[in-house]
Structure 1
Amino acid sequence: MDQRTQVFLLLIFAPFLVLANHQTGGEDVLGLNSLKALWTNTPASWGTPDPCHNGWDGIGCTNARVVTLTLSSMNLTGTLSGDIQQLSELQILDLSYNKGLTGPLPEEIGSLKKLFNIILVGCSFSGLIPPSIGSLQELVFLSLNSNRFNGKIPSSIGNLSKLYWLDLADNNLEGPIPVSNGGEPGLDMLSHCKHFHLGMNELSGQIPPKLFSSNMSLIHVLFERNKLSGSIPSSLGFVKSLEVVRFDSNMLSGSIPVNLNNLTTVSQLLLSNNKLGGPAPDLTGMIHLQYVDLSNNSFDASDVPPWFSTLESLTTLKMESTQLQGEIPAALFSLPNLQTVVLKNNQLNGILDIGTGDNPQLELIDLQNNLISAYNGGYNGTLILVQNPICTGKSLSYCKISNSADVISYETLSKNCVPSSCTSDQVSSPNCKCAYPYEGTLVFRAPSFSDLENSTRYKELEKKLTDYFLGQQLGDSVSLSNVTKDSLSYLRLSLEVFPYGQDRFSRKEVSNISFQLSNQTFKPQKYFGPFYFIGDDYQHFAVETEVPSESKKSSNVGIIVGAAAGGSVLVLILLLVGVYAIRQKRKAKRATDKNNPFGKWDVNKSSGGIPQLKGARSFTFEELMKFSNNFSEVNDVGSGGYGKVYRGTLPTGQLIAIKRAHKESTQGGYEFKTEIELLSRVHHKNLVSLVGFCFDQGEQMLVYEYVANGTLKDSLSGKSGIRLDWTRRLKIVLGAARGISYLHELCDPPIVHRDIKSTNVLLDNSLTAKVADFGLSKTMDDSGRDHVSTQVKGTMGYLDPEYYMTQRLTEKSDVYGFGVLMLELLTARRPIEQGKYIVREVRIAMDKTKDLYNLHQLLDSALGLGTPLKGFERFVDLAMMCVEEEGANRPTMSEVVKEIETIMQLAGLNPNAESASSSASYEKSSPKHPYSNEAFDYSGGFPASKIDPQ
């Protein structure tokens, strides 16, 4: 080989060598390296050459392009460079809780046209919010709260037609609220936005009447503690979707608009600490009001308004210093949910009649500095009548000031274990394990309750947080403490999340947890109201492998020295380079195919766009052949209309179930796409886990965890050989309900399964229920949150009649199917058997005056009818509520879960036990194939035979 040939080969193969080492788009690498140069404390993984190929922490990629940058609570310091515009495919930007990030947002952020989520909560960014942000037409979530931004709100934000969440609170923003004018956009154009969170700023001027209109979708309007003046516009009364309204601590004047009375869905109304005048407002029509604070305004002197005694949902009434006069009606204190009444500094007089004082929730009545002359009642809570005639010259208990504590003494307790003695840096978790928790503060901006000492609410929140993070295997447990309420009535709680299965979090886990909270993915109970989270820096990340920064330089030096050694050595090097480049090119192609397994996805043929995944593993066809012993007959464990299911074993020893589609399957493409998209982002112990998928060599395969005991139907029919008594059935139905409830209420957007039935509930070795088969599932996005209009699909017998008639799908359609499943658990009969429909049969036979509701002839004998079935009647009542004809009359799945938990307690069972049975405690004969079953599908309104492997 002559020298010219050697040089030619070098020129040919050198570019391939570069491509083999760098798969991420060049502009993305440039942008990220620019950020890295400006930031300190970046993860060690940012020292590797390739962000996508080498897996930089906080970087998510699709097709070798950076689409997510999420690095919250990483203790980053520095500024945000204009070079961020190089990340042209970026969709999510989350740098929250890095207080060391300072300086302005670069104008170039407006170049990232695919951004739909910007979360920069709790940093120290300052300067103006760049007007270019209004060019991000895909933006759905804009959260810049708790920074140091100043200047005006850019009117260009009004161009963001898809915006759902706008949070600019807790900054130094000033000037007027922008509305459209003469071609200039404004916030009034955000007709799809549900959240205006603009409190704790310096906004001034009047509230433009144009800001609100009847075509808006707002549920939260929060403008507390600004400098707004003028009157409250009557246009506010046109926004019928409102739930929380805060204009307190401004300088508003004039009368409260009469048509605010039309806002029947508002539950929290805070207009205190203004200069509002005119007559005291009539709130009679606001029937869902729970928390009302109109204190410190200048209303005309008037008697107590009638609505004091009629708002059944009222928990908190505050109208201090509002010139109220006359007697307080005794009926006020009989409102069933009332917790706090503060009417001090008024002219209330006469006899105070609290009645029998039998309202256990009523904790505080503060009437100091009024004209009350007498008191009747046996009230045992805190009553303050200081500076009333009744207290002249007396030292009674209610004639003394009683200050409520600023800090509520609530702290999460250990769960039936002895707290561990940990090192100085570690903390003992509620499960008594020493660990380094991730900490932060939850801030609730408008809670609808005021009984702050009621620990039940915090326990419910604690349980919901624990279930949420445990379901995703992110957190082992959570702890709440330091409950306080500040001068703005914000409720603050310290939160600790403890790691799952280890003593500390990885960077990815911390970023994931904080994103769930900052992105509002986690939904607390509604009565806590709108919230935000401020995370602390995490100091105890799992040890990362440091990357030697000089390794590549040393390699380059070696090549230069070798090249200089002589022509013979150079020939050898060039030959090696050529061979290496060819091999690396092939390796890069294989890696690209693996990173982009859907490169050959046919959008038209496969019923929809390319699947969007969140972490599912891609298997090659050869790998799955090996794991299943060439799809041998001995590993064939079921078949159906979709295809066959094979048992397999991963190299780790984990058993898997491989669902292989028939190539001629007409439904396979859509179901394949739906299942991998949904199951790749949902994680709960009562949902079957997706291990991965294969889209290779024309094959479509889904890989699940292997669920050894098959379907619930197999056990009810006797095929599996497992005997299910009453207690086991209760535990199984609770597990299934929890899985469905997770889909409805903890997924964002929520998911409707659409095919709840006994063949889609699998039982593992411990008889833990796992909901399976998401091929027909639908997501409920915000644009169609109440329902989705869609072609009717489901299984005959379980199908919601309201959905079938209207084609309007809601979560209540799953509730109906679950109700049928509950009846199937009682009877072990198919929903439709010999022309008889189980729901109708139970309704006809039911007689609540007789034992077991007169259902003896329908019940499965395996229930153990010779022994008392504790909770049976409530179980039947719940099932029949679930199968009500109208969805509005059915409970939600979270309500179903709570009721089943109560039924289990009546039966002497622990609803939080790990499983329905230990693996050794149930009787079982020779099992059948666990994935074999037969059902009927009702797809598109036409019945068709179907054998469904899951």
Structure 2
Amino acid sequence: MGSRILVYLLLVSSQILAILARTDGDDLAALNAIKSSWSNLPPNWTGSDPCGSSWDGINCTDTRVTSIMLAGTGVEGSEFSDISSLTELQFLDLSNNIGLKGSLPESIGNLKKLSTLILVGCSFYGPIPEAIGSLDQLTFLSLNNNSFNGPIPSSIGNLTRLSWLDLSYNKLSGTIPVASKTAKGLDTLLNARHFHLSNNLLSGSIPDQLFSSNMKLIHTIFDHNQLTGNLPSTLGSVKTLEIVRFDWNFLDGPISPNLSNLTNMNELYLSNNKFTGNIPNLTGMNFLYYVDVSNNNFNASNVPQWITSLQSLTTLMMENTQLQGLIPVELFRLPQLETVVLSNNNLSGVLNIGNSYSNNLTLDLRNNSITDFMQKTDYSMGELILVGNPLCNANGATLKYCIVENHHNNSFPSNNYLQNFTYYKTLYEALMSVFHSNGLPVDSVLLANPTVDIYNYLQFRLQIFPSGQDSFNRTSISTIGFLLNRQQFRLQYYGPFFFIDEPYCCFAGSKKSSNAGIIIGVAVGCSVLVLLVIFAGIYAFLQRKRAKRAFERSNPFSSWDPKKGSGSVPQLQGAKWFSFEDLKKCTDNFSESKCIGSGGYGKVYKGAISSGQLVAIKRAQQGSMQGSSEFKTEIELLSRIHHKNVVSLVGFCYDQAEQMLVYEYISNGTLRDCLSAAKFTGKIGFKLDWSRRLTIALDAARGLSYLHELANPPIIHRDIKSNNILMDDHFNAKVADFGLSKLMGDTGKGYVTTQVKGTLGYMDPEYYMTQQLTEKSDVYSFGVVLLELITAKAPINHGKHIVRVVQEALDDPEGSENLNKILDPAMGSGSHVGLKKFVDLAMSCVGESAVDRPTMGEVVREIEHILELSPENKKMDQKISGSSYEEENDESPLHSYDTEVFDVSYGSFPFRVEHQYGK
């Protein structure tokens, strides 16, 4: 009788819910499935009526879900097939959620009403499914900044309504698909306005068929691929084109004169290919303001006269294009001209810039054959560079245009658009208009830090401030992301955009619903279901408890709590687990006599495990959040690294709320210790001479090169310094301490955007300024270590950085004499073969710009070459025999573990600052 009553109540409550609910049952099931498989979803995804209770990011028409917009809200997940059940879906925007990873399922083809699909800046990989071509309502497809691979599906050619196609910054390969007897291709997309396919691995020739006069394209962007063959003459038939980019490919042959038919063109990029023949004649392109045809194999010719007719021209790039003869003075009379780069040509004669040029003009003519400059002292422009011309070789030539001071190709010129009030105002007003017209509470926007990246794309930071509230809610965040990616506004001199957001720290509190009927209905239904679960689940609960105890015995991370700030459970690839009792025993109950170091993380003990191996045991302080984060990072990385020049992880302990890492024991401390001890006679039992220092540098470079180039994925150490290079009993160097390390992963960008951390004095200034971490950040730190090796000086000594000290010595007129004054006397007197090459290598590593620094593989090869220069070095046994430290007065040596780490902040950037404890 009781069971019948329960069933009756359940049926009644279900009917109540069905009456009150506004969400279709199938759509509800699909959203609940998504909710169970994804994490970090909005907190108001509760209840059984998403449409009625307005779940954040979910929009409905009547009872059906028609849009999901969760851009930039930090959601995570790897299962996407459930979305395919939302058959009325029209808008899907999951962009800028790096935690969304996995492949797109073929079932996405079920979304027949989808008109907008935006997955920018996620972590998708695998092929783009052919089924995407069945979404015949699609007008906007943006999959850029992921890791999609394989060919471009030819089925995309079925999307005849498509206006926007962006597949840039992926790993797509193969040829560009065009229509055949059996399939469609991109050439059938006659309504498309945008082809964005840059930064992929596309190869083969560009089919003539790809372009036709029936097309409406305004952007065709294929730069940074592997395309070969000719530039199709049919490109000139698409007269609507405004931006064309085919730079950084392997295109060759002559450029068709049909290109001059593109009279609406604004920007033309054809640089860094293998084009031959004549430089293309661009007469009649009256709206053209940016031209770059640099680094091609054109026929030798004078500067084309037609350039002087391009009245809208602001930027002319013709570096290394076999130009010769005089530069026509008429070029400098163009009213909008801002930047001219004609370097690495054979321009000759007397340079005459006239008197009608812009005061903001940047003119780069380095490495030509110019013999004189007519204006000399009375010219006034933004920048003039004539280095490498005969007029700079004259005796006593000290003119300012013969010196290059901090010239960076990637910095935006001083006369850039964001500093021009008219352009700034135009962009500001366009953004504010689109935000306000969509009901967003935006008070103002700020555009800052404009730069041009290595791909010649303008980048700037956009900050958006809320109106009448302290923070944006999730709906506002996702709507802002959607509007920026959807780009429903057009601006002269701007575009195409793509928007990569940064994690948003704060969300406004969610408002309670005023719809009491829905709240009551949900409450009634849940109470009945709870009763059923209680009666039906007691046995399952008891069984689960038994299973949990068994699981905890077999899984050392069963008690790991991701909510404590250290992320998900560590993913290991082989590491021995030690119990707390094991390590307590081998350290004599963590006796102070076994302690060999201490710091902010905790203490380090020396011990011998059951096999007899000596180990160093790093024990975290109880409750240390920094310790938890570093523990996870280090255990994950070191469990998968095996190299003779990287410290080995023997095992770990995660037991009884303890976090401990067990390393191989390194007997001779750190490189910093060795350099400090070598200063004092009798402190060590060996001589740290030039040859040994070279060998130490080579060992450390090999370890770091392994991390960058052979580990999969590559690892950026992020804290290379002399205290993190350890010396074993044969004085082999090993890279240690991976607590701050980062995996490069599969970003496709060549950098990881992360909070700035490291050690003062070793930190890459470019990383500090941009928060973009690359392998070259480690190279900078290693360069500082190389300078320490030869000077034994700390990175910052008496307020001066070691890089500056060495540079001043090199710049001094006394040259090598002055350099000798700062060398470590412990290296010994006499000739140090290869020292000049070593110093040059170190200074190249600490270059101001990352692109100018060598890779660690190149560093290894250069040090090997330096070692080969000396016959003594060739004979030297790299495994230096000898004693370890022989400390006077029975003093204990310093160890790499003897470090306190704490965070401080300079402006908005946190630093790791370390204090060394001496004994």
Correspondence for 1:284: 283
Cα distance in structure 2, aligned partners of 1:60 and 1:528: 31
Correspondence for 1:825: none
Q: Which moved more, 1:23-32 or 1:117-126?
A: 23-32
Q: Superposed, which structure 2 residues align to 1:568-647 within 5 Å?
A: none
Q: CA, structure 1 residues 174+4, in 2 after alignment: closer, same or farther (shift >3 Å)?
A: closer
Cα distance in structure 2, aligned partners of 1:301 and 1:6: 95
Q: What CA deviation, in whole Å up to 9, does each residue of 1:218-241 have, x standing for no partner?
A: 000000101111110101011011
Correspondence for 2:386: 385
Correspondence for 1:555: 527
Cα distance in structure 1, aligned partners of 2:167 and 2:476: 27
Cα distance in structure 1, aligned partners of 2:42 and 2:477: 13
Q: Superposed, which structure 2 residues align to 1:39-50 within 5 Å?
A: 39-50=38-49
Correspondence for 1:375: 373
SS at match of 2:30: helix
Q: CA, structure 1 residues 405+454, in 2 after alignment: closer, same or farther (shift >3 Å)?
A: farther
Cα distance in structure 2, aligned partners of 1:51 and 1:188: 41
Question: What amino acid maps onto 2:380 in structure 1?
Answer: N
Question: What amino acid maps onto 2:388 in structure 1?
Answer: Q
Partners of 2:443 and 2:467 within 8 A in 1: yes
Confirm whether residue 530 of structure 1 aligns to residue 531 of structure 2. no
Q: Using the TM superposition, give the Cα deviation of residue 294 of structure 1 relative to its aligned residue in structure 2, in angstroms.
A: 0.2
Correspondence for 2:510: 544
Q: CA, structure 1 residues 278+4, in 2 after alignment: closer, same or farther (shift >3 Å)?
A: closer
Confirm whether residue 462 of structure 1 aligns to residue 428 of structure 2. yes
Correspondence for 2:165: 166
TM-score, normalized by length of structure 1?
A: 0.52
Q: Superposed, which structure 2 residues align to 1:345-424 within 5 Å?
A: 345-360=344-359, 362-377=360-375, 378-381=378-381, 382-393=383-394, 394-405=397-408
Q: 2:473 aligns with which of 479, 487, 506?
A: 506
Question: What amino acid maps onto 2:401 in structure 1?
Answer: Y
Confirm whether residue 488 of structure 1 aligns to residue 486 of structure 2. no
Q: Using the TM superposition, give the Cα deviation of residue 539 of structure 1 relative to its aligned residue in structure 2, in angstroms.
A: 2.6
Q: 1:519 aligns with which of 481, 486, 502?
A: 486
Q: CA, structure 1 residues 3+123, in 2 after alignment: closer, same or farther (shift >3 Å)?
A: closer
Q: CA, structure 1 residues 476+305, in 2 after alignment: closer, same or farther (shift >3 Å)?
A: same
Correspondence for 1:137: 136
Partners of 2:417 and 2:424 within 8 A in 1: no
Q: Superposed, which structure 2 residues align to 1:826-905 within 5 Å?
A: none
Cα distance in structure 2, aligned partners of 1:4 and 1:77: 41
Q: Using the TM superposition, give the Cα deviation of residue 206 of structure 1 relative to its aligned residue in structure 2, in angstroms.
A: 0.5
Correspondence for 2:325: 326
SS at match of 1:292: strand
Partners of 1:176 and 1:203 within 8 A in 2: yes
Question: What amino acid maps onto 2:503 in structure 1?
Answer: D
Cα distance in structure 1, aligned partners of 2:5 and 2:32: 34
Cα distance in structure 2, aligned partners of 1:542 and 1:410: 39
Q: Using the TM superposition, give the Cα deviation of residue 22 of structure 1 relative to its aligned residue in structure 2, in angstroms.
A: 3.5
Partners of 2:58 and 2:69 within 8 A in 1: yes
Q: Superposed, which structure 2 residues align to 1:802-813 within 5 Å?
A: none
Cα distance in structure 2, aligned partners of 1:561 and 1:536: 42
Cα distance in structure 2, aligned partners of 1:560 and 1:396: 90
TM-score, normalized by length of structure 2?
A: 0.54
Q: CA, structure 1 residues 66+151, in 2 after alignment: closer, same or farther (shift >3 Å)?
A: same
Q: CA, structure 1 residues 13+347, in 2 after alignment: closer, same or farther (shift >3 Å)?
A: same
Cα distance in structure 1, aligned partners of 2:209 and 2:530: 70
Partners of 1:406 and 1:484 within 8 A in 2: no
Identity of aligned residues (%): 49
Cα distance in structure 1, aligned partners of 2:242 and 2:412: 30
Correspondence for 1:246: 245
Question: What amino acid maps onto 1:253 in structure 2?
Answer: D
Q: Using the TM superposition, give the Cα deviation of residue 163 of structure 1 relative to its aligned residue in structure 2, in angstroms.
A: 0.2
Question: What amino acid maps onto 1:287 in structure 2?
Answer: N
Q: What CA deviation, in whole Å up to 9, does each residue of 1:192-239 have, x standing for no partner?
A: 000000001111110111100111110000001011111101010110
Partners of 1:52 and 1:66 within 8 A in 2: yes
Q: CA, structure 1 residues 563+189, in 2 after alignment: closer, same or farther (shift >3 Å)?
A: closer
Q: CA, structure 1 residues 326+52, in 2 after alignment: closer, same or farther (shift >3 Å)?
A: same
Question: What amino acid maps onto 2:78 in structure 1?
Answer: T
Q: Which aligned segments of 4 or more residues in structure 1 are displaced greater than 6 angstroms?
A: 2-12, 406-411, 545-550, 558-564
Cα distance in structure 2, aligned partners of 1:41 and 1:5: 40
SS at match of 2:215: coil
Cα distance in structure 1, aligned partners of 2:7 and 2:98: 53
Confirm whether residue 272 of structure 1 aligns to residue 276 of structure 2. no
SS at match of 2:45: helix
Cα distance in structure 2, aligned partners of 1:450 and 1:4: 76
Q: Which moved more, 1:465-474 or 1:138-147?
A: 465-474
Cα distance in structure 2, aligned partners of 1:558 and 1:299: 78
Question: What amino acid maps onto 1:216 in structure 2?
Answer: M
Cα distance in structure 1, aligned partners of 2:14 and 2:435: 46
SS at match of 1:196: strand
Q: How big is the alpha-carbon RMSD for the aligned residues of Structure 1 and Structure 2?
A: 3.0
Confirm whether residue 120 of structure 1 aligns to residue 149 of structure 2. no
Q: Using the TM superposition, give the Cα deviation of residue 464 of structure 1 relative to its aligned residue in structure 2, in angstroms.
A: 3.8
Cα distance in structure 2, aligned partners of 1:295 and 1:122: 31
Q: Which moved more, 1:228-237 or 1:538-547?
A: 538-547
Question: What amino acid maps onto 2:141 in structure 1?
Answer: L
Q: CA, structure 1 residues 551+250, in 2 after alignment: closer, same or farther (shift >3 Å)?
A: same
Partners of 1:384 and 1:402 within 8 A in 2: no
Question: What amino acid maps onto 1:479 in structure 2?
Answer: L
Confirm whether residue 211 of structure 1 aligns to residue 189 of structure 2. no
Cα distance in structure 2, aligned partners of 1:369 and 1:562: 83
Partners of 1:147 and 1:170 within 8 A in 2: yes
Structure 1 residues not aligned, in runs of 5+ = 412-448, 565-950
Q: Using the TM superposition, give the Cα deviation of residue 466 of structure 1 relative to its aligned residue in structure 2, in angstroms.
A: 3.7
Q: Using the TM superposition, give the Cα deviation of residue 546 of structure 1 relative to its aligned residue in structure 2, in angstroms.
A: 9.2
Q: Using the TM superposition, give the Cα deviation of residue 249 of structure 1 relative to its aligned residue in structure 2, in angstroms.
A: 0.5
Q: CA, structure 1 residues 490+134, in 2 after alignment: closer, same or farther (shift >3 Å)?
A: same
Cα distance in structure 1, aligned partners of 2:401 and 2:19: 81
Cα distance in structure 2, aligned partners of 1:396 and 1:210: 54
Partners of 2:412 and 2:452 within 8 A in 1: no
SS at match of 1:217: coil
Question: What amino acid maps onto 2:90 in structure 1?
Answer: Q
Cα distance in structure 2, aligned partners of 1:410 and 1:143: 30
Partners of 2:91 and 2:117 within 8 A in 1: yes
Q: What CA deviation, in whole Å up to 9, does each residue of 1:663-710 have, x standing for no partner?
A: xxxxxxxxxxxxxxxxxxxxxxxxxxxxxxxxxxxxxxxxxxxxxxxx
Q: CA, structure 1 residues 8+535, in 2 after alignment: closer, same or farther (shift >3 Å)?
A: closer
Q: CA, structure 1 residues 17+516, in 2 after alignment: closer, same or farther (shift >3 Å)?
A: same
Question: What amino acid maps onto 1:306 in structure 2?
Answer: Q
SS at match of 2:460: strand
Structure 2 residues not aligned, in runs of 5+ = 514-518, 537-919
Q: Using the TM superposition, give the Cα deviation of residue 468 of structure 1 relative to its aligned residue in structure 2, in angstroms.
A: 4.1
Correspondence for 2:259: 260
Q: Which moved more, 1:258-267 or 1:12-21?
A: 12-21
Q: Using the TM superposition, give the Cα deviation of residue 182 of structure 1 relative to its aligned residue in structure 2, in angstroms.
A: 1.4
Cα distance in structure 1, aligned partners of 2:388 and 2:529: 88
Cα distance in structure 1, aligned partners of 2:434 and 2:345: 46
Cα distance in structure 1, aligned partners of 2:125 and 2:533: 50
Cα distance in structure 1, aligned partners of 2:10 and 2:357: 91
Q: CA, structure 1 residues 344+191, in 2 after alignment: closer, same or farther (shift >3 Å)?
A: same
Q: Using the TM superposition, give the Cα deviation of residue 522 of structure 1 relative to its aligned residue in structure 2, in angstroms.
A: 4.0
Q: CA, structure 1 residues 468+562, in 2 after alignment: closer, same or farther (shift >3 Å)?
A: closer
SS at match of 1:309: helix
Confirm whether residue 479 of structure 1 aligns to residue 446 of structure 2. yes
Q: CA, structure 1 residues 293+555, in 2 after alignment: closer, same or farther (shift >3 Å)?
A: same
Cα distance in structure 2, aligned partners of 1:554 and 1:283: 72
Partners of 2:410 and 2:454 within 8 A in 1: no
Cα distance in structure 2, aligned partners of 1:558 and 1:248: 64
Paired residue total? 524
